[in-house]
Structure 1
Amino acid sequence: MSQWSALLQKEILEMWRNFKWIWVPITFILIGVKEPLSSYYMPQIIDALGGLPKGAVIKLPEPSAADVLIKGVGQYNTIGVLIIVLATMGVIAAERKSGVAAMILVKPVSYASFVTAKWMGSFLLMLLSFFLGYLATWYYTGILFEWIPFNDFFGSFLLYGSWMMLIITITVFFSSLFLVPGTAGFTSLAFVVLLSLISSALSKWLKWSPSQLADYGNHLISGASIPEGTWPSLMITGLSIIFLLVLSIAVFRKKELAL
């Protein structure tokens, strides 16, 4: 455990040196405040852009707080996913390519400790960034529109966070599979997009799909009860994370031994 803790501390320190602990949370917060602010000030924004007939009055239907929060958190399922992949794609591939991984593994360091410490460091970064960003979305939605109950907010955060945890695990897996970070990132994005598209097109039959967790989080925001597919989806997500981590360790060990 002390070995694993040392590796995790190294990973956290490395992310400090790369300023990930600064730019990733700030980016998530900016994404979080964009939707409630733009929704509230949309009439003024349109008026400022001009181009309307003289004397025209802009009257837009005021969105509900739930709609604003759902649209806001939806940004994390697009831009947020891209940021997660970009921040994680080189977590193993870059160190393999630079030779740092080989230097570390020369010491009595297990492959499992190396991979899981990398995964945990990326997860902690994502968890903090997403929570701060989503909290900003919830706060500004409450200030400008109406307060969503904190329990519903936190429940949806856990569901969205579970889906993002799987995305991190997918990226770590491809980072252990490929030597080039760009290839790992592109493949991870393609896999996540394909999974989301298939689950969306076949949502009636794939209620247990991990990508459905985002929709289930929206149900909580809207004040609806938890859909019946939530728990199977969470179970599949957890099993998929464990399977991909084990597979990542096996692939990484094989790749390193083959070098």
Structure 2
Amino acid sequence: MRATWFFIRKELLESWRSYHLLIIAVVFVIFGIEGPLMAKLTPEILKMASGSGMTIKMTDPTSLDSWQQYYKNMTQIGIYVLAVIFSGTISGEVSRGTLINLVTKGLPRYSVVLAKYIVAYFQWCLALVTAFFINWVYTAYYFSDNKSPNVLTGLWPLLIFGSMFVAVTIFGSALGKSNYLGFLTAVVAFIFLTLLNLFKDVKRYNPISLVTDNMSLVKGTEKISHIMPAVWITILSAVVLVYLAVLLLKHKKL
């Protein structure tokens, strides 16, 4: 574990020096501000865009519109931002040969994978929670209604889904030397799970439910017990994928 902790510190320092932390912070802070702001301004923007000759009837925006924009940003853009940043986290090290000296000096290869996974997932959680609380504050300021009673309930499934999505990215990065392989693997996995969700019998067990049913949880129209099978499958999948990434790196020529 000492070796893993050493590599975690190295990864955090590298994230800081490469401005990855800064990029993630800026992007997700913007997302946190943009959700409630867009919900508030969209009706006015549509009125101005329609011109004086057209009349568009729209209901007044609510806190639900703000949270819907938040989850849309996280699942359609935010999660891919992190996938791009961490896509080459292992393949880049292998192609540059930077792991050779560390491994020959006794650093276990599993420590490399574990450290990179922990740092990547930590940044995902930090970014998600930061954007969440910014969105929460602005939503409370703009929309003083009671239509979003369970805002926290909608958040933690997304946090758990990130554990698997990060693991997919790490696994993809361990497959080859291309810096884009991790990102492509994550995209393919996301598309596959989305298509799998078309079958109603597997929807409750599908990890993608953790990022598609958030608004139902926020509104209170769906109970968290409905997606618990998907939660456990997501956690198990993350563990398996990290283990497979360890095996890949273990047999990879550095």
Q: Determine the structure 2 residue equivalent to 1:88.
A: 86
Check the 8 A contact 1:216/1:226 in 2, yes or no.
Answer: no
Task: Deviation per CA, 1:49-84: give whole Å up to 9, x if none.
Answer: 5x6126x66652113312431232122111012102
Of 150-159 and 25-34, deviating more is: 150-159
Of 75-84 and 208-217, deviating more is: 208-217
Taking only aligned residues, the RMSD between alpha carbons, in angstroms, comes to 2.2
Check the 8 A contact 2:163/2:235 in 1, yes or no.
Answer: no
Between the aligned partners of 1:29 and 1:165, the Cα distance in structure 2 is 21
Are 2:227 and 1:207 equivalent residues in the alignment? no
Q: Give ranges in structure 2 of 5+ residues lacking alignment.
A: none
Of 183-192 and 148-157, deviating more is: 148-157
Distance apart, 1:150 and its partner CA: 9.2
Task: Deviation per CA, 1:200-252: give whole Å up to 9, x if none.
Answer: x1144331111111234322211234244322111111111111111110011
Deviating above 4 A after TM superposition, structure 1's stretches of 4 or more consecutive aligned residues are: 56-59, 147-151
TM-score normalised to structure 1 length:
0.89
Distance apart, 1:31 and its partner CA: 1.9
Q: For the structure 1 residues 150 and 107, does the alpha-carbon distance in structure 2 shift closer, same or farther, using more than 3 Å as the test?
A: farther
Q: Determine the structure 1 residue equivalent to 2:164.
A: 166
Are 2:120 and 1:118 equivalent residues in the alignment? no
Correspondent of 2:101 among 100, 103, 116 = 103
* Count of aligned pairs: 254
Percent sequence identity over aligned pairs: 21
Distance apart, 1:152 and its partner CA: 2.4
Between the aligned partners of 1:234 and 1:107, the Cα distance in structure 2 is 39
Check the 8 A contact 1:28/1:133 in 2, yes or no.
Answer: yes
Check the 8 A contact 2:94/2:177 in 1, yes or no.
Answer: yes
Are 2:51 and 1:52 equivalent residues in the alignment? yes
Between the aligned partners of 2:36 and 2:177, the Cα distance in structure 1 is 41
Check the 8 A contact 2:62/2:145 in 1, yes or no.
Answer: no
Q: Determine the structure 1 residue equivalent to 2:10.
A: 10
Are 2:143 and 1:145 equivalent residues in the alignment? yes
